[in-house]
Amino acid sequence: MTRPDTTTAPNAGALTVNGDRLWRSLMDLAETGAYDDGRTGLRGVNRLALTDADAAGRRKVIGWMEQAGLAVRVDAMGNIYGRREGTDASAAPVLTGSHLDSVATGGAFDGCLGVLGGIEAVRTLDEHGITTRHPIEVAVFTEEEGVRFGTDMLGSAVAAGRIPLDHAHALTDREGRTLGAELARTGFAGPEGVRLSPPHAYVECHIEQGPVLADAGLDIGVVTGVQGISWQEITLHGRAAHAGTTPTRLRVDAGLAAARTVVHLRSMVDSGAYGDLRATVGHLTVHPDLTNIVPARAELTVDLRNPDDTHMARAEADLAASLRTLEAGTTGLTVATRRMARTAYVPFDEGVQHVIARAADDHGLEHISLLSGAGHDAQEIAALCPTAMIFVRGEYDGISHNPREYSTPEACAHGVDVLATTLLRLAGHGR
């Protein structure tokens, strides 16, 4: 792939955005899909992909794009692109963006900062009368979280060509609704082709979703890459039985099998044999889910993360072997697995990282390089063009996917200052 020019002189085109306007847009969007969290007393955000709330948020953001002079198009995956033209009609665009969908217990910043930050960068260029040689596009990718249709980074993965469009359209939520049908229902089954032509470069600004920057007392993270991610759904079929009358030795307890799987995953992590492995069972249900009945079936999801692909493959093989052993050692128990998502470790482009770091320096912002533990659309677009990310400091140990998710107005503005400056330097001044 062609690498972008990264030779801009220090302090050239260091842009400062309107932080108050950026903050107002973040808080305005957070009201779409807002809910009151009874445990914390805080306002959270519930905008699962392609729900009515997500559609309303998308329409609001399209309105802001159009007000900023962007030409908007929507593709067959519902991905949204707002384009600011450059002076060179043949030049590939510099792309930025993120997502608007949330988890069910989300906050105001995850994904949204990257989209609204991109729009704010465009506004700032316009207000300064700056033209760029390359076009600049702001993207909204569909179903980044993966919580509704079971595959994360879905819209960007289809745009980059990793996942076929027909496969994505056929994915279902827990009520059996297909993604394709929900695109049509919400009005986001766009007419544009979904395969993205390689951009000149891609830069994504995102909250860190972790405690590293706050712990170090720093403003900005220059992201070096994204660790590998493996998602599986495991279904354990046992046999229902009365809790009082069935002797323990005659039970086929799917709940017990699920518990053993959870414990085994933790032992894998604690062993240190798989490098910096992280394992999470985020969803676990038993059926029929009654107090006095031995569970006949258990369903759980397994989320594995690892920055080393070899260690990840060994961890997956260990989990598969443990499930076979569990099945063989428990008469009447059967195990079924389904792959939900699998992405390898993705390194980011050193040249784009350098532009980000220099932009942070020129704004007087201290920064460090760090690897992302979470998945992002950037890891998909990295297959098409030079890519890197900007992390923004979060408060409260960087908690995310939670109503307590919070980055200060100053932190958000600092991150988008770096984004706007980076976009300008990658896009080049118009001639």
**275-283 long-range CB contacts below 8 Å, 24 or more apart?**
275/306, 275/307, 275/308, 275/311, 276/227, 276/306, 276/307, 276/308, 276/311, 277/304, 277/305, 277/306, 277/311, 277/312, 277/315, 278/303, 278/304, 278/305, 278/306, 278/373, 279/303, 279/304, 279/305, 279/315
d(CA 42, CA 34): 10
d(CA 137, CA 381): 13
d(CA 351, CA 357): 10
Question: Is the same domain home to 313 and 359?
Answer: no
Question: Is the same domain home to 162 and 206?
Answer: yes
Tell me, yes or no, whether 2 lies in a domain.
no
Residues 6+ apart with CB under 8 A from 419: 96, 117, 118, 121, 203, 205, 390
The residue whose two tokens read 């039985």 is 241
Q: Select from 181, 110, 46 the least CA-distant residue to 394.
A: 110
In terms of residue numbers, what domain contains 316? 229-343
Distance from CA of residue 270 to its chain's centroid?
Answer: 27
pLDDT number for residue 40: 79
Tell me, yes or no, whether 378 lies in a domain.
yes
DSSP 398: G
Question: Is the same domain home to 69 and 196?
Answer: yes
pLDDT number for residue 12: 59
Question: Is the same domain home to 202 and 243?
Answer: no
- End of a domain among 304, 324, 343? 343
Question: Is the same domain home to 357 and 320?
Answer: no
Tell me, yes or no, whether 9 lies in a domain.
no
Compute, in degrees rounded to 10, the torsion defined by CA atoms 156, 422, 129, 11.
Answer: 180
Question: Is the same domain home to 78 and 214?
Answer: yes
pLDDT number for residue 185: 98
pLDDT number for residue 325: 97
Tell me, yes or no, whether 102 lies in a domain.
yes
- End of a domain among 343, 367, 393? 343
CATH of the domain at 255: 3.30.70.360
The residue whose two tokens read 């910043």 is 109
pLDDT number for residue 336: 98
Tell me, yes or no, whether 418 lies in a domain.
yes
Question: Is the same domain home to 48 and 173?
Answer: yes
Tell me, yes or no, whether 53 lies in a domain.
yes
CATH of the domain at 363: 3.40.630.10
Q: Divide the 431 residues of the chain into consecutive groups of 10 and give the mean pLDDT of each group.
A: 54 86 98 91 95 98 98 98 96 98 97 98 98 98 96 96 97 97 98 97 97 95 96 97 97 98 98 97 97 98 97 98 97 96 94 98 97 95 98 95 96 98 96 69
Question: Is the same domain home to 324 and 365?
Answer: no
d(CA 38, CA 18): 34
Tell me, yes or no, whether 373 lies in a domain.
yes
Amino acid at 290: L
Number of structural domains the chain divides into: 2
Tell me, yes or no, whether 174 lies in a domain.
yes
What's the predicted TM-score (pTM) here?
0.88
Question: Is the same domain home to 155 and 268?
Answer: no
Question: Is the same domain home to 56 and 164?
Answer: yes
- End of a domain among 301, 321, 343? 343
Paired with 41 in beta bridges are none
pLDDT number for residue 65: 98
Question: Is the same domain home to 380 and 421?
Answer: yes
d(CA 103, CA 401): 6
Question: Is the same domain home to 252 and 221?
Answer: no
